[in-house]
Homo-oligomer: A and B are copies of this chain.
Amino acid sequence: MPHSIKPRIRIVDGDATIVMGPGKADLLEAVARSGSIRAAAEELEMSYMRAWTLIRTMNAAFRSPLVEKERGGPAQGGARLTPRGRKVLELYRKMEKKAERAIAREWETMKGELPS
A residues near B, CB below 8 A? Answer: 1-15, 19-20, 61-63, 84, 87-88, 91-92, 94-95, 98-99, 101-103, 106-107, 109-110, 113-115
Q: List 9 A-B contacts (CB under 8 A).
A: A3-B12, A5-B11, A62-B114, A63-B114, A91-B106, A91-B109, A91-B113, A95-B110, A98-B102
Beta-carbon contact of A115 and B7 below 8 Å: no
Beta-carbon contact of A91 and B62 below 8 Å: no
Which one, B6, B61, B102, contacts A102 given CB within 8 A? Answer: B102
Beta-carbon contact of A95 and B88 below 8 Å: no
CA distance A55 to B94 in the complex (A): 34
CA distance A62 to B7 in the complex (A): 20
Contacts of A6 in B (CB 8 A): 9-10, 12
